Structure formats: structure tokens, C-alpha cells
Amino acid sequence: MAVKPGTAPKGRLLQPFAGQSLATPPIWLMRQAGRYLPEYRAVRAKAGGFLDLVYNPALAADVTLQPIRRYGFDAAILFSDILVVPDALGQPLRFAEGEGPLLEPIGDVKNLSRLRASATRPKFQLVAETVQRLRQDLPSETALIGFCGAPWTVATYMVEGKGSKDQAAARLWAYRDRDGFQKLIDLLVEVSIDYLTCQVEAGADVLQIFDTWAGSLPDDEFDRWVVEPTKAIVAAMKEKHPDVPIVGFPRGAGGAALWYVTETGVDGLGCDTAMPPYMMGEAFDGELRTFGPTGKEKIVIQGNLDPLLLVVGGPAMEERVTEILDLMAGKPFIFNLGHGIVPQTPPENVARLVELVRAWKAG
């Protein structure tokens, strides 16, 4: 059935955000479209490079739908990348085989003048077109998740020019020239709001902000570069689209996750693999949320099976899945992994995971 933007029946994924805990929680998985699926590898080979796939709305919509067809997840996540933002700004991105993303590093504040928020339109337009196609082709009960990288995480790639183990280049710049680094973060806040707005206006139902490297900062810097920019993005999106829930994923934040949730105003917390279940189950429940800016009583928890248990499968995976489900029973909860699916994951283990979650009932 074709569904017009904004008229889709909302489906199970949105219910926890309305404060409802379901007998069986909704499920989707980070990186659910990707190299572990043979049908993804086939389309990827046909497209050529990864970015040729991202900027081809027909193919990007097709790979977004692949895991929905195979597993019937409660949500599809737009197939794109957080590094589309620097690419669209004029810092060309490429993906070299086996090397991950490569950008020409932005050494200091002087290089920022080469980046233009006004240059992003054509590439964002292609992403919007993918979302529009998905809105038409997705089953009406499947929610569509749009996303961006958080400014801090995107900045780490822009400054380093590639992935790194400690994000040192960005951390050093931020310490040496706080005002200059703030300019980069401010630009990313502005452009991320544009990128998300474009996705919501094309039909995304829920948003997720990926802050993969939130855990590499001490508390004052975490506040400055993770909390404040995220808070600005959430505030701008809430002003334009108050009904679109936003999930934050401050990977590695540990104890600071509580501060992150109460300060940024996100509706949901994506928990990484290392977040202890007692924090997921208890610390975020009820009154602790009420001192934040929105004073919401409940925060939706999303997570957090170790992606490597999905590689292993069998009793080790099954035991942990049941543990997480039991712990989160009766709470507004979305089942997910603690980080993205890895390429060596056997697709049949994903099928078993979905079956387990769907068969479980709060007891």
C-alpha cells in the first residue's frame, strides 16, 4: 500500500515513545542493512562504490528494504552515512577498499572557509528522494528512522581525515583553539539540523543521533562538545517537528549518559554494549528524568545486545537476549544491539534473534 508522507499508521516502534511498554518490544538493529547480507553485497557490487550506492535513491531505498523483507523488523533505517554531511559541505569523502572513510583532513580554522552550508542542497536532496521512495514502499506498520552523526563524532573524522583509535587530532584542536573548534561544531549543528529536517519533511518518523566517539572526552569537554551541540539540534527539531521522537546514542558515555539524557532532551537513549543493564533498567526510570529540560517522566531505552553475540549465536546469545528482555519487561524499551552488526554475522543468527524477541512475553 502506498503511504503519503505523514499519514503512515505509526506502528509498534512509536508506542514506547507514547509511554507504552509492549508485551513484546519492537526490534530493529543498527547496521541492519550491510555487508553481512548477500543481497546487500550484490547491490553494492552493481553500484560500484559505497557512495554511488548512498547517492542513488533507487538503490539506497532497495538496500534499506532488504532487512525488512528478510526479517520484518519494526523499523527501517535510511541507508546513508553520517559522513554525507562533510561530503555535502565540500570536504570530499571516499571509501578505499578495506580502509574505511578517507577525507582530506581539516587542519585548522582557516580551512573552514572552504566548507559551505549552502553547498549541501544537491546531496541532501538525493537523500530526501531515498526517504520519499521508502515512504511509498515500506509496509505501513514499519517506522522509518532518519539519522545524522552528532557534531562531535562527525568532527573527529573531518579533523583526522579518517577513523582513529583515540580521536586525538580533534581533541588536540579543541584544547588548543577552543573558539576555532567551536566554529566547526556550530557549522555542523546548523547543517545537521538541515539534514534531519530534510529527512523528516520527506517522511522519516523517528530520528537517531549517532555519537560513536562520545566516550573519548573528559566531563567538561563532554559537556561542551557532546551535550551542548546535541541539545541545540534536539531543541531545533522539537521546535519544527515536536512529534518526531529523537534517540541519542552517546556511545561510551558511561555514567555521563544520565547527564546527557537529562540535558539534551532526547526522547530515547541508545545504550552501547558496555552500559550495565541495571542502569538501563533503573537509573533512567521515572523521577531522575524529571529534572531535565523537558521533564518527561520516562525515557525510552534502546539496546544493547553485544554484536559479537550475534556472530556466535546459539545458547550464549539466547541466554543474554532473555536476560535483557526480562530486565526491561514493563518499561518503554526497543530491542537493538549495543553497536552495529559486523560483516561476519551469519544472517541466520539474525533470524533467530528476531524469532526469540517476538516469541518472548513479559511474564
**Length of the chain, in residues:** 363
Verify whether residue 35 is a known catalytic residue: yes
Reduced to 3 states (helix: H, G, I; strand: E, B; else coil), residue 149 is strand
Give least dist CB 97 to ligand CP3, A. Answer: 8
Within 10 Å of residue 218's Cβ, how many Cβ atoms?
Answer: 9
Q: Is the dihedral of CA 155, 156, 159, 161 positive or negative?
A: negative
- DSSP per residue over 300-351, as a string? EEEEEE-HHHHHH-HHHHHHHHHHHHHHHTTS-EEEEESSPPPTT--HHHHH
Show the cell assigned to 99. Answer: 580502509
316-345 footprint of ligand CP3 as x/- string (CB under 6 A): ------------------------x-----
Q: Where does residue 272 rank: exposed (0-12), middle (13-18), buried (19+ CB within 10 A)?
A: buried
Query: Which 211-240 residues touch ligand CP3, going by CB under 6 A?
Result: 212
Q: Find out whether 308 and 349 touch, Cβ atoms under 8 Å.
A: no
Q: Does 100 bind ligand CP3 (CB under 6 A)?
A: yes
Judged by CB under 6 A, does residue 352 bind ligand CP3? no
Q: Is 160 in the site for ligand CP3 (CB under 6 A)?
A: no
**Catalytic residue selected from 35, 70, 224, 352:** 35
157 a catalytic residue = yes
Does position 156 interact with ligand CP3 (CB under 6 A)? The reply is no
Contact stretch for ligand CP3 (CB under 6 A) within 78-86, 119-127, 240-248, 323-331: 78-86
Q: Rg (Cα) of the chain, in Å, rounded?
A: 19
Active-site residue identified among 12, 36, 40, 44: 44
In the numeric block, the cell 573552514 is attached to 112
Kindly list the distances between the CA atom of residue 1 and the CA atoms of 4, 33, 70, 89, 205, in Å, as whole numbers in the listed order. 10, 23, 18, 36, 17
Q: Is residue 32 at the binding interface for ligand CP3, with CB under 6 A as the rule? A: yes
Q: CB 147 → ligand CP3: shortest distance, Å? A: 5
Interface with ligand CP3 includes 187 (CB under 6 A)?
Answer: no
Binding-site residue total for ligand CP3 (CB under 6 A)? 22
First CA to last CA distance, the chain:
35
Residue 162 is a binding residue for ligand CP3 (CB under 6 A): no
Piece in contact with ligand CP3 (CB under 6 A), picked from 26-34, 132-140, 166-174, 263-271: 26-34
Q: What angle do CA 150, 226, 304 make, to 5 degrees?
A: 70
- The residue from 62, 81, 87, 272 that is catalytic is 81
Residue 347 is a binding residue for ligand CP3 (CB under 6 A): no
User: Toward ligand CP3, which CB reaches closer, 149 or 268?
Assistant: 149
- State which residue, 85 or 115, has the beta carbon closest to ligand CP3: 85
Q: Is there binding between residue 101 and ligand CP3 (CB under 6 A)?
A: yes
For residue 7, what are the contacts with CB-CB under 8 A and spacing of at least 6? none
What would the grid cell of residue 138 be? 515500506
Cβ pair 247, 268 in contact under 8 A: yes
User: CB of residue 232 vs ligand CP3: minimum separation in angstroms?
Assistant: 19
The nearer residue to ligand CP3, 260 or 360, going by C-beta atoms, is: 260
115 binds ligand CP3 (CB under 6 A): no
Minimum Å gap between C-beta 76 and ligand CP3 is: 9
Active site residues: 31, 35, 44, 81, 157
In the complex, the residues that contact ligand CP3 under the rule CB under 6 A are: 30-35, 44, 50, 77, 79-83, 100-101, 147, 149, 163, 210, 212, 340
